[in-house]
Structure 1
Amino acid sequence: MWYVPKTKELLKASFSDSEIRVWIKQAAEYYGIPHVLLAVILQQENGPKGSKFLQTMQFGERSVTTLLAIVDNIAFDVVPDKLAGGSSGFANMSRATLQNSVKYTENYYCKKPLPEDVQYRIFGWNQDTRIPGDDWKADLYYAAGHLRELIDRATGTRCHSGTLTPELLKKVIASYNGSGPLAEKYSSDAMKLLDGAKSGTAWLYFYEK
């Protein structure tokens, strides 16, 4: 995956599943959202049980979209939005959704979308590019911020920190995907995954206590 390492990680060739799951937990904690919610969204968007062929195709498609978005950012909006603005990255977010969620975080929570130890983790280089897929650790925080916004919207309460009912949880998950029948199926599949994880018949790949 496209990941910019910390300065002390420069010589590290790979990262364990547990390390990545810790990043996910930290992103959820930064925004005060349920850790399991971010984990199930990432599983829905990445299909860790999919075939290597499908995973490779998905990675390639998202990487091209990210590259076009980077070029578009440098070349002053020369790439059409339908190409550069598509969904990409670890959390499969569109550029518009990501940037709108960042504005929500800044306007209503008065905080940066990334904590400083993530934003400036290598030689003081700013990783808050607001381009999906440019840095997949940043993607986790952008996704968590968007879920924070969706939780607030679903509950009608800013900074909601209480328990989410199954109905509200399903509503938030559907909203992450969009609207209409496909979003409903997306949320139903996610709820089945959560129920299966509770009963021990399914595995939340991106979740670790």
Structure 2
Amino acid sequence: MHLSPEQLADDGHLEKALAEIAAAMADPSRIKMLCALMDGRAWTATELGAVAGVAASTASGHLNRLVLSQLVTFLSQGRHRYYRLAGPDIARLIETMMGVSWRRVTPPVTRTPLALRHARTCYDHLAGEVAVAIYDALVEKNWLTQDGAAITAAGADFFAGMGMPVAGKLTRKPCCACLDWSERRFHLGGQAGALLLAYFEKKGWLTRTPGFREVTFTSGGRRALRSLLDIAC
């Protein structure tokens, strides 16, 4: 929901908009769909319905609610609609909520969240233990500022040398510090984080399982991380 400055100045508009977003997310089936879309890919309504364990007609109703709340967007292609999160800001919101929720889970917990802790996707970039280690290594090498707000000149040279330019006209932040819900520390988000994930996947340094957020680093990927950033994973 987009509000004008005049609307925001009017008491109650912001609170109402916030309540509407919260209400759109306040359903276990819709939460399952949003979490599935955190892998950064586009899903059909049928696939999301299967993830949520609901019928196709019910899934469509849930997705319409998420679209109207601007949490999810879609692209029509042929007979299908392909749904994805509305943007990185929505992914950061969900990631933050996962962190808050994790503190309220009483052990023992299911194995799935634990499997996500080592390496996973956070929309279009890496998260988890390995991603936090990458962030720390970039800061230590002075390729990234301590607060994650900017790539240094030396860091830009590193990214460019790897074929991942982070300069020029961009449609989003060049980089940002994204709070990792499981590690409670930062991993790299923004354009630089997305470039790293895409580069690692292109080089065959990691593999992704369709429909899941977990990623697995290959033997070549582990060697590359050790060589480039002195990271063992």
- TM-score normalized by the length of structure 2: 0.29
Structure possessing the higher relative contact order (Cα contacts under 8 Å, 6 or more residues apart): 1
Q: Greater helix share, 1 or 2? A: 1
Q: Greater strand share, 1 or 2? A: 2
